[in-house]
Amino acid sequence: MNKVHIIGGAQTDFERNWTKEGKNLVALLKEVLKDGLDDAGISFDDVRMLNEKNKVGCFVGNFIAEQYVNQGHLGAFLTEVSPAFYGVPSARYEAACASSSVALDAAITKIKAGEYDLAIVVGWELMKTVDSKIGGDILGRAAYYEKEGRGIDFPFPKLFGRLADEILNKYKIEEGRFMDALAMISVKNYSNAKNNPLAQTRKWFMNFEQAKNRGTSTNSIVGGRLAVSDCSQVTDGAAVVVLASEQYANSIKKGTPIVKGYGHRVAPLLFEKKILESQNSPYILPWTRQAVLDAYKTSGLEVKDIDVFETHDCFTSSEYAAVSAFGISKPGEEYQAIETGITSMLGSKPINPSGGLIGCGHPVGASGARMFLDIYKQVAGKAGKYQVNNANNGMMLNIGGSATTNYVFIVGNP
């Protein structure tokens, strides 16, 4: 199998509202592709030349543009970005909020197999085209819509609120301590986002007092025990990752990071069934844990080798469950790792230095590519003010639905 190198990428400024700017999806794609290719040192002429030999492909991650912007057939949209993409194989990949991880997986596979020298992965979502209630309903299609979404206001906050309930049930943790740990996750991610110049919440205020007082006028309850401060954001944005074969990568720059491992597992779609199935497992989300184990196995690495994590904190309860899934703590003892600051920026196992989905933002179809880009930036020493010192290997977990699709990648220096 061939090695897969990461030679660059870019994300848009997640603070931007593309509807307010009056710009369409083509404008979004043009910007992020230009920036991503510039960062990788690739020109549109390079794409043309590779395409003559059928050695380049594009992989588009998007959840549900049909609903947000009335558009399908998204792989074909790169031809609107530049004529350089005429004839380039390109398709859209979908797995709810893990859409761009599937796109990454497909791209990685093509390079591993030696079929392409260059793979351009772009994940995107424009979510601010609708109000929050309609947006919540659209996102309900990431669950079993007929049973878990239809007619329910904000189905996902409710599902992840239930995850919080089930964690309490399973591990018999003291409720106050657990809820405070969730508040600490929120505060950490908002605080990390302050160092990320492209984070949606970089100017926003959050502190422990605000995050732990749920059910107030500025921190209303959104699902079960969870409040606004426990939620990720509604975001417009895109992220590009440029992957290359070893030979092609070396022709551009030496020593670029490589993909070291991956895991992909799909859990039962219905939340109810997930929880039923997990009763005999020490983990609340056993298939999430399994995807992590698969990534460790395929990379030959262990948790001690991972210097930085990006996880799918669509809600604080999902980051909470990720702590043990990564192997940072035993299942049921996540709160201890959180309380002692192990997962904070200066801790031994920092999670979400970018700010994550809560701090950096969550354009659903872009999030997988954005996380991948961030662990690449970390190991390449390009993360600027949110750089983790001496990061050599990074792991990301991207989930779709209520932890239904679970995608894990490990990126590291060769």
Partner 1 sequence: MNNKLNISKVAVVGANGTMGANISAIFASFGDAKVYLISRDMEKSRNAVIKAYKSVRSDGIIKNLIPAEYSDLEKYVSDADLVFESVSEELELKKDITTRIGKCAKKGSIICSGTSGLSVTTLAECLPTELKTNYFGVHMFNPPYAMTLCEFIPTKYSDNTKAVLLKNYLTDVLRRTVVETKDSPAFLGNRIGFQFINQALIFAEQYKDQGGIDFIDAILGPFSGRAMPPIVTADFVGLDVHKAIVNNVYNNTNDYNKETFLCPAYVDSLISENKLGRKVGCGLYKSEIDDSGNKRRMVYDIKNGYYRDVIKFAFPFADNMKEQIKNGDYYQAFETLINSNSIESNLCLNFLLEYIIYSLITAQEVGYSVHDADEVMATGFNWCPPLALLDALAEVQNPKLLFSKIVDKQVLKKINLEKLILDIEPSKYDYRKFFKSGR
Q: Is 163 in the site for partner 1 (CB under 8 A)?
A: no
Region binding partner 1 by CB under 8 A among candidate stretches 15-23, 45-53, 157-165, 335-343? 15-23
**Choice from 7, 9, 10, 16 touching partner 1 (CB under 8 A):** 16
The distance of Cα 121 from the centroid of its chain, to the nearest Å, equals 14
In the three-class reduction of DSSP (H, G, I as helix; E, B as strand; rest coil), residue 387 is classed as coil
Q: How near is the Cβ of 24 to partner 1 at its closest, in Å?
A: 6
In the three-class reduction of DSSP (H, G, I as helix; E, B as strand; rest coil), residue 279 is classed as coil
Q: Is 184 in the site for partner 1 (CB under 8 A)?
A: no
The residues near 339 (Cβ < 8 Å, ≥ 6 apart) are 181, 184
Q: Which of residues 201-230 bind partner 1 (CB under 8 A)?
A: 203-207, 209-211, 213, 216-219
Strands 226-227 and 90-93: unpaired
Q: Of the two residues 33 and 351, which places its CB atom closer to partner 1 in the complex? A: 33
Q: Of the two residues 10 and 383, which places its CB atom closer to partner 1 in the complex? A: 10
Answer yes or no: are the C-beta atoms of 291 and 283 closer than 8 Å: no
Q: How near is the Cβ of 333 to partner 1 at its closest, in Å?
A: 28
Answer yes or no: are the C-beta atoms of 373 and 11 closer than 8 Å: yes
The CA-atom distances, in angstroms, between 152 and each of 53, 134, 156, 158, 363 are 51, 11, 9, 9, 22
In the chain, the amino acid numbered 288 is T
Q: Of the two residues 25 and 357, which places its CB atom closer to partner 1 in the complex? A: 25
Residue 373, CB half-sphere, CA atoms under 13 Å: how many?
Answer: 29
Q: Is 70 in the site for partner 1 (CB under 8 A)?
A: no
Applying CB under 8 A, the site for partner 1 has a residue count of 27
Q: Is 10 in the site for partner 1 (CB under 8 A)?
A: no
The distance of Cα 84 from the centroid of its chain, to the nearest Å, equals 28
Answer yes or no: are the C-beta atoms of 241 and 39 closer than 8 Å: no
**Choice from 10, 11, 31, 193 touching partner 1 (CB under 8 A):** 31
Q: Which of residues 279-338 bind partner 1 (CB under 8 A)?
A: none
User: Which parts of this chain interact with partner 1 (CB under 8 A)?
Assistant: 13, 16, 20-24, 26-31, 194, 203-207, 209-211, 213, 216-219
